[in-house]
Amino acid sequence: MGSVLEISDLCVEFHTQNGVAHAVNHVDLSIGEKRSVGLVGETGAGKTTTALSIMQLIDLRHGKYTSGRIDFRGDDLMKLKDTQLQKIRGKEISMIFQDPMTTLNPVIKVQDQIAESYRIHEKDSPAEALIRAKDMLEMVGIPAGRGEEYPHQFSGGMKQRVVIAMALTCNPQLLLADEPTTALDVTIQSQVLDMINDLKDRLGTSMLLITHDLGIVAETCDEVAIMYAGEIIEAGALRQIFKDFRHPYTDGLFNSIPSLTKKTHRLMPIPGLMPDPKQLPGGCHFHPRCPHAVDECKVAHPEMTEVEKGHLVRCLRCTEVLSR
């Protein structure tokens, strides 16, 4: 089974009044057909910037691609013209954005916002597009009659369902889900995730799921990539990351999660904060927060090491510490 998307050596920087922010640094990422990849990391790690780069939605007035390729079905998205990208966005690659409040237009009926994709990409007549939009609302669990309403008349969970419906209108080959359940309560989170999984399996869609929540990754993804300071620092199959993680940052993420099976008096959060992308530390970017760092970590930037087939770790000491 081949790859739907191949990202190679992607670098993105933003020019600000206070300096250059290195948001994404030499990222390599692959998503296979009908596979789900979880992209995990703290706020500011570069996850959303990576997804926006795939969609080619970086604002080039302030941002800049300094290197890389983003191959989608053999085409480098970074070399396509705007007219070519417009045919791909929303049809072959769709994105569920973080906040449905800012994704939906408050003065346009929900059904008309969904129907727009059918009119643009499928060349449907307005009447045909409206019928298909109502069918899509039913598919995500919203009565078709509510399509006449406006976004402010929907709850947070219902808005998110509408956004998912918009993303899946044209049966995309690749779905980018940027923290699709962050603003929802736990019960609605579960319903939305079940719905995404069901629709993804039914339509044969590949997915990149961006999240902070490792529990969601465990329920949804086939593979996992851990991101820190704009880099992928560990990647592998779900079992490899959850049962045999090797990077101290990944260890810190798991130690920050309450356990139902282990008795712990206190959780162990990762000390410190994500580094400023305008002033990334030398050597390993994680060394100021790493309990296993040695002097070499401060000066030598680690490359990816394959600790087992398909399991890659960016750590100078990955074979010494946390090995199982």
Report which of residues 320 and 5 the model is more confident about: 5
pLDDT at 110: 96
Side by side, the strands of the sheet bearing 206-211 are 93-96, 174-178, 206-211, 36-40, 223-228, 231-237, 311-313, 305-308
- Could you give phi then psi for residue 168, rounded to 5 degrees? -105, 10
**All residues at 6 or more sequence positions from 313 whose CB lies less than 8 Å from its CB, including other chains:** 233, 234, 246, 247, 304, 305, 307
* pLDDT for the residue 317: 87
DSSP secondary structure code for residue 89 in this structure? B
C-alpha closest to that of 44 among 278, 253, 303, 223: 278
Q: How far apart are CA 233 and CA 69, in angstroms?
A: 19
> Which of 41, 49, 36, 38 lies closest to 4 in space, CA to CA?
36
CB under 8 Å, gap of 24 or more: what pairs does 83-92 form?
85/56, 87/121, 89/55, 89/56, 90/117, 90/120, 90/121, 90/169, 90/170, 90/172, 91/117, 91/121, 91/170, 91/172, 92/170, 92/172, 92/173, 92/174
pLDDT tens for residues 9-23?
999 999 999 899 999
Evaluate if residue 237 carries a pLDDT over 90: yes
pLDDT band at 271 (very low <50, low <70, confident <90, very high): confident
Q: CB-side exposure of 203: number of CA atoms within 13 Å?
A: 23
Q: How many residues does the chain have?
A: 324
Percent of the chain with pLDDT over 70: 95
50 falls in which pLDDT band (50, 70, 90)?
very high
Residue 268 has pLDDT above 90, yes or no: no
Q: For the segment 135-167, what is each residue's pLDDT rounded down to a tens digit?
A: 999 988 899 999 999 999 998 888 988 998 898
Q: pLDDT tens for residues 126-139?
A: 999 999 999 999 98
Distance, in Å, from the CA atom of 246 to the CA atom of 252, rounded to the nearest integer, reads 11
Taking the C-alpha atoms of residue 121 and residue 92, their distance in angstroms, rounded to an integer, is 10
More confident residue, 11 or 261: 11
Predicted local confidence at residue 238, as pLDDT = 95
Pairing status of strand 231-237 against strand 63-72: unpaired
User: Among candidates 243, 226, 240, 241, which has minimal Cα distance to 314?
Assistant: 226
Q: Which domains does the chain have, with CATH numbers?
A: 18-23+33-56+82-92+173-313 (3.40.50.300), 99-169 (no CATH)
The confidence score (pLDDT) of residue 255 equals 84
Q: What is the pLDDT of residue 213?
A: 86
Evaluate if residue 257 carries a pLDDT over 90: no
Segment 178-235, tens digit of pLDDT:
988 776 777 777 877 888 888 788 888 999 999 988 888 998 999 999 999 999 999 9
| Segment 15-40 mean pLDDT | 95
% of the chain beyond a pLDDT of 90? 67
Angle, vertex CA 239, rays to CA 233 and CA 242, nearest 5:
60
Question: Does 25 have pLDDT greater than 70?
Answer: yes
For 305-322, what is each residue's pLDDT tens digit? 999 999 999 999 887 766
Mean pLDDT along residues 49-65: 94
pLDDT-derived band at 266 (thresholds 50, 70, 90) equals: low
Q: Which two tokens stand for residue 1?
A: 């089974």
